[in-house]
Structure 1
Amino acid sequence: MNTDFPTTARPLRTRAILAATAGYLALIGPIIMVTAIMIAINSDAGRDSPEADRVVTMLAAGAVVIVLSWPLLLIPVILWTVRARSNAEALYPATHRLSRGWAIAGWFIPIANLILPLVVIADIARATGSVPRTVWTWWFGWLAATIVFWGAIVAAGRTEWPDSARIVSQGMLAGVALYVVAVVALSSFVRTVARRQDQSLADRTTHT
């Protein structure tokens, strides 16, 4: 993978802010869906009532928000990765296990995208000094959240009411909690790496 990026280091702070903001915005869809489930559980309305229709509408809206927004919200994270990877090569002598092209390509290869972005980002962080624990928290927290959140929906479809409501509510709540942990971790490490790289860039500029 020999895609070329500029090797001149550039400030990373703005892209870190955008990536962190994208992470928080990604929580909107799951929160809408879990809110709908909680309304359904706490309501005595029947399945054919207007209240039930509102719940179904909210669930569908949350799912649509996820499907439409998550690919777009991934863009700032990829842009942060691209610049952070380019900066790491320009500012630090550390070697990387993957070439710069994988900072983009690694996100789009099925199955492989479960590990390649993590490898790229871990190498970026390691080049700056050390890999924050938040990198691992973000990655595995997000994977766990996705499995729990959507797994609960699938499992609920195979059970009868009210067991299905209990499964969905517990799974969605746990999934949203894990998503929140993952997003907080994402926000932390993108800003940490940006702070380290921007400081190194400032130091280099001062001494030239």
Structure 2
Amino acid sequence: MSISPAGPPGGVPHYPSGLTPTPPPQTVPGVLRSPLGLANAVTALLALVLACDVFSIAADINLWSVAGSVVADGPMSVSVDDADRAELLLSVTALLQGLGFLATAVVFIIWFHRVRGNGEIFSPNGFDKGRGWAIGGWFVPFLNLRLPYRIARETWTASTQAAPDGSWRPIRTGIVTVWWVALVADRIATQLTSQMYSKAESSDALRDSAVGMSLSDGLDIVAAVLAILFVRRLTAMQHLKATQGPVAAF
């Protein structure tokens, strides 16, 4: 028995009860969202992080000087006030760095998710994982050592315009790689030097931890500068592609 519907006048088929086909789902096109404001906020916060790092290096040098005086000339060479001041400076800088890092991380991840969403509109098939991983990928242990970097590279590639003649343009992702290496190295160094300071029980150990912390703060400065370059460059690339189209004007 055939269930093929007979075609009534006008060519519009009549479907028996229960056989009406489900209409295809309506797809809502994505909408580009400007990352410019968020990029400016991230840049300002990273500049604040840089200022905190400079302050922290000064505190590290002060601790190194105080601990070095104790090592060279004995405990009586350093007053109680000087020792307390060195410890207070470290506590204040640690608090400022922690607050600065937290605020910067929140705004950066919001920016990162935004440019990832724009990248999917530019190149719908250019990503291995859903856009939610632009947030979640930062919080999964071990996976966060690789996944955000891969998302950053995919977003960078998706945001790159073709050459003026429409041909494929080589994708240079060096700034992405250098930024990510510096960021991971900075996080590792911060953990190691924090442990060195917390476990220091002698003036020699305190002096060594001060050296380690100053080097870690210097690496944090490098990572912050590279992050600013990465944020500004990727944001500019997306702005150009959104305003000029997928092919570069010149």
For residues 146-161 of structure 1, what are the structure 2 equivalents within 5 Å?
146-158=187-199, 161=202
1:178 equivalent in structure 2: 219
CA distance in 1, matches of 2:211, 2:154: 36
Q: 1:157 to 1:104 in 2, by over 3 A?
A: closer
Q: Is the 8 A contact 1:125 1:193 kept in 2?
A: yes
CA distance in 2, matches of 1:150, 1:31: 19
1:192 lines up with 2:233 in the alignment: yes
CA distance in 2, matches of 1:153, 1:109: 22
- Of stretches 106-115 and 36-45 in structure 1, the one that deviates more from structure 2 is 36-45
Identity among equivalent pairs (%): 25
1:99 equivalent in structure 2: 130
Q: 1:89 to 1:154 in 2, by over 3 A?
A: same
Q: Is the 8 A contact 1:13 1:194 kept in 2?
A: yes
Higher relative helix content = 1
1:62 equivalent in structure 2: 93
1:110 equivalent in structure 2: 141
5+ residue gaps, structure 2, are: 1-28, 161-170
Q: Is the 8 A contact 1:85 1:100 kept in 2?
A: yes
Deviation string, structure 1 residues 48-101 (Cα, Å, up to 9, x no partner): 611111111111112222333322221211111111011111123551122111
Deviation at 1:184, TM superposition (A): 1.1
2:36 equivalent in structure 1: 13
Give the 3-state SS of the residue equivalent to 1:109 in structure 2: coil
CA distance in 2, matches of 1:52, 1:120: 46
Q: Is the 8 A contact 1:78 1:103 kept in 2?
A: yes
One-letter code of the match for 1:19? V
Q: Is the 8 A contact 1:145 1:174 kept in 2?
A: no
CA distance in 2, matches of 1:151, 1:114: 17
Which structure is larger by alpha-carbon Rg, 1 or 2?
2
RMSD (Å), alpha carbons: 2.6
Deviation at 1:156, TM superposition (A): 4.7
Q: Is the 8 A contact 1:32 1:59 kept in 2?
A: no
One-letter code of the match for 1:200? K
One-letter code of the match for 2:42? A
Q: Is the 8 A contact 2:156 2:234 kept in 1?
A: yes
TM-score by length of 1: 0.82
Q: Is the 8 A contact 1:32 1:58 kept in 2?
A: no
2:244 equivalent in structure 1: 203
One-letter code of the match for 1:18? A
One-letter code of the match for 1:174? L
- Of stretches 71-80 and 110-119 in structure 1, the one that deviates more from structure 2 is 110-119
Q: 1:120 to 1:131 in 2, by over 3 A?
A: farther
CA distance in 2, matches of 1:123, 1:156: 39
Correspondent of 2:156 among 125, 128, 138: 125
